[in-house]
Amino acid sequence: MSSRSKTKKMVLTAVLGAISGILMLLEFPLPFIPPFVKMDFSELPVILGGFIMGPVNGALIAVIKIVLNFLFNGTSTASVGEIANLIYSLGYMLPSVLIYHKLRSKKGAVVSLVIGTVITSVLAVIINIFFTFPLYGKLMGIDIPTIVAMCQAVNPYVKDMVSLMIFSMLPFNLFKYGVTSIITFVLYKKLSSVIRNFINWYIKWVPKGTCFFDDK
């Protein structure tokens, strides 16, 4: 790849990272999850960038998203939420992109997105139990029963940490990444013309047939 192509690739990564950072700022709560967990659509540019440019650039987009969020929004979770968000982004994007690159078709796209959604949702449960919630509680001076009580206030099915994961965090992540996957798949034809025109104008290094949007 020429130095000019590398520069163009970096520019597209930066653009998608900036869009992802903006989308992360536009977060909003859902009624069945604790108030410190928010819904956003910042994974869309991450997964699209991964499909178009590969897993390395998808990961860079995720990192840019987190850095921009730190700069413009700070943190309300002692950075624990942002670190977890980055792990979830990678857990969603990496398997989706790697699997899709083995199965280049619409069916392959569906399979990869479903697997990515399931993997990151299960990964989130594990990380929440052993990392996010314990560390968040320690840094914020809140014990686990208090966190459970906060979650129980918005979801009566939550009784303990296990039920918190089953009835709150797991459904949330399945919903979040499931919706992201559906939007990616449903809108990619419409988005493809916009992205392809941008690529043709500025990112001419993308070969036809290697982009997610070239699937038949």
Q: Percent of the chain, pLDDT > 90?
A: 43
List beta partners, residue 39.
28
> How does pLDDT run across 105-142, given as a tens digit for each residue?
888 889 999 999 999 999 999 999 998 888 888 888 88
Q: Residue 164 domain-assigned? A: yes
**Whether pLDDT at 215 is above 80:** no
Q: Which domain holds residue 175?
A: 3-27+40-214
Q: Read off the pLDDT band of 31 (50, 70, 90).
A: confident
- Structurally, how many domains does the chain consist of? 1
Closest CA to 88 of 109, 112, 119: 119
Q: Residue 33 domain-assigned? A: no
Q: Residue 34 domain-assigned? A: no
Please tell me the distance from the alpha carbon of residue 212 to that of residue 216, in angstroms, as a whole number: 10
> How does pLDDT run across 44-101, given as a tens digit for each residue?
999 988 888 889 999 999 999 999 988 888 877 778 888 999 999 999 999 999 998 8
Q: Read off the pLDDT band of 21 (50, 70, 90).
A: very high
Give the chain's length. 216
pTM (two decimals)? 0.85
- State the CATH number of the domain containing residue 13: 1.10.1760.20
The pairs formed by 182-186 with CB atoms below 8 angstroms and a separation of 24 or more are 183/41, 183/44, 184/44, 184/47, 184/48, 184/113, 185/109, 185/110, 185/113
Q: Residue 116 domain-assigned? A: yes
Residues 157-166 as b/e (b if ≥16 CB within 10 A, e otherwise) read ebeebeebbe
